[in-house]
Amino acid sequence: MKICVLPGDGIGPEITAEAVRVLKALDLKIEMEEALLGGCAVDATGNPYPEATQKLARVADAVLLGAVGGPQWDSLPREQRPERGLLGIRKDLGLFANLRPAILYPELANASTLKPEVVAGLDILIVRELTGDIYFGQPRGIEVRNGERVGFNTMIYSESEIRRILRVAFEAAMKRNKKVCSVDKMNVLECTQLWRDVAIEVGKEYPEVELSHLLVDNAAMQLVRAPKQFDVMVTGNMFGDILSDEASMLTGSIGMLPSASLDANNKGMYEPSHGSAPDIAGQGVANPLATILSAAMMLRYTFANEAAAQRVEGAVKKVLAQGFRTGDIFEPGTKRVGTREMGDAVLAAL
């Protein structure tokens, strides 16, 4: 197994280091090699997704990513921004299926801003399409028309793109509570009328799964009103970007949530759902658990090693039960630890 490790920017290097220690401790035959992505890559090479990284990422079985971005790169031309590196690697590796679980750990029930009875036991999987939609649609740009500037983007999906992401959602639901909620805006956007039509077609292939549909505005509302009605939610790239941030905060701690971005053969890139947190970078206080849990997803999806995945997830649950907390999930009566100590605790629990 070959893993390409991309620590990235901000807290990325600190949190990936802990996930790497966990992977090494498992005694699996894993080879790991590091490369640059994001702002650090721009600084070193001028390109947020440099050729050396492309080569390594393409031959690796899986990619472990920390996070990219930071204020020092925000004023660069668009093609040199760290985010462009992230979108570039997703597209280059064909990682069209983004799985973002939102799970509320019982020990962290107080971390949510919602009432405990609304979120207790929450376990949602957001399946976000990741290589299409308005993120990549052409034409796009800013230009002068009739003497004033106009900005434009194109929301576009082909039926094959919709079908393959719907299948990922239905397959996931078959292993969970057999419910899929497809999110669109078919009352206004033709592109998402097609989304709904194809969702209904694919739904017929999965008679055991209950398929429902929500308009995206209603879905956003339902997520905070009664989030436990959901099992798997599936949607396009932009709606998924927004709804997955919303869903993550139901758990009160985006620092706990992993993600997987998969291609058609379960090659994947695994990264925490949170960003690079430049404000706390380099201080050794960031929560490494989302990255460690991302490594667990890697073991599950790319390496088909469910036992190892559960071992890592079990170790994370154990350190939470033991009371270890980084600053983002700290509450009085628990043990506040830094990034490295949290990694130590997970290794000890393993």
**Could you tell me how many residues of this chain bind ligand IPM (CB under 6 A)?**
4
Any idea how long the chain is?
350
**Judged by CB under 5 A, which stretch of 58-66, 124-132, 199-207, 233-241 contacts Mg ion?**
233-241
Q: How far is the CB of 245 from Mg ion (least distance, A)?
A: 5
Q: Residue 166 and residue 182: Cα distance in Å, rounded?
A: 8
Count CB neighbours of 307 within 10 A. 8
Cβ proximity to Mg ion, 137 vs 284, nearer residue: 137
Q: How far is the CB of 272 from ligand IPM (least distance, A)?
A: 10
Query: Which residue number is nearest to ligand IPM in terms of Cβ?
Result: 83
**Judged by CB under 6 A, which stretch of 10-18, 27-35, 81-89, 159-167 contacts ligand IPM?**
81-89
**Could you tell me how many residues of this chain bind Mg ion (CB under 5 A)?**
1
**Residue 92 found at the interface with ligand IPM (CB under 6 A):** no
Instruction: Say which entry of ligand IPM, Mg ion, none residue 280 contacts (CB below 5 to 8 A, set by partner kind).
Output: none
**Residue 241 found at the interface with ligand IPM (CB under 6 A):** yes
Q: How far is the CB of 350 from ligand IPM (least distance, A)?
A: 28
Instruction: Say which entry of ligand IPM, Mg ion, none residue 109 contacts (CB below 5 to 8 A, set by partner kind).
Output: none
Q: How far is the CB of 149 from Mg ion (least distance, A)?
A: 26
**Judged by CB under 6 A, which stretch of 28-36, 82-90, 170-178, 290-298 contacts ligand IPM?**
82-90
For this structure, is 241 an active site residue? yes
**Residue 246 found at the interface with ligand IPM (CB under 6 A):** no
Cβ proximity to Mg ion, 275 vs 338, nearer residue: 275
Which is catalytic among the residues 92, 245, 263, 344? 245
For this structure, is 27 an active site residue? no
Cβ proximity to Mg ion, 211 vs 234, nearer residue: 234
Task: Tell the burial category of 233 from Cβ atoms under 10 Å away from its Cβ (0-12, 13-18, 19+).
Answer: buried
Pairing between strand 232-235 and 179-184?
parallel
Out of 86, 165, 211, 285, the only residue in the binding site for ligand IPM (CB under 6 A) is 86
For this structure, is 217 an active site residue? yes
Residue 136 tokens, joined = 């990549």
Cβ proximity to ligand IPM, 171 vs 241, nearer residue: 241
Mapping DSSP onto H, E and C, the string for the chain reads: CEEEEEEECCCHHHHHHHHHHHHHHCCCCCEEEECCCCHHHHHHHCCCCCHHHHHHHHHCCEEEEEECCCHHHCCCCHHHCHHHHHHHHHHHCCCCEEEEEEECCHHHHHHCCCCHHHHCCCEEEEEEECCCHHHCCCCCEEEEECCEEEEECCCCCCHHHHHHHHHHHHHHHHCCCCEEEEEECCCCCHHHHHHHHHHHHHHCCCCCCEEEEEEHHHHHHHHHHCHHHCCEEEECHHHHHHHHHHHHHHCCCHHHCEEEEECCCCCEEEEECCCCCHHHCCCCCCCCHHHHHHHHHHHHHCCCCHHHHHHHHHHHHHHHHCCEECHHHCCCCCEECCHHHHHHHHHHHC
Out of 107, 241, 263, 344, the only residue in the binding site for Mg ion (CB under 5 A) is 241
Site residues for ligand IPM, 19-58, by CB under 6 A, read none
Residue 141 tokens, joined = 């740009």
Give phi and psi for 132, each to the nearest 5.
-130, -155
Out of 83, 92, 210, 344, the only residue in the binding site for ligand IPM (CB under 6 A) is 83
Cβ proximity to ligand IPM, 123 vs 246, nearer residue: 246
Q: How far is the CB of 105 from Mg ion (least distance, A)?
A: 22
Which is catalytic among the residues 61, 123, 241, 344? 241
Which amino acid appears at position 313 of this protein? E
In the complex, the residues that contact ligand IPM under the rule CB under 6 A are: 83, 86-87, 241
Active-site annotation, residues: 135, 185, 217, 241, 245
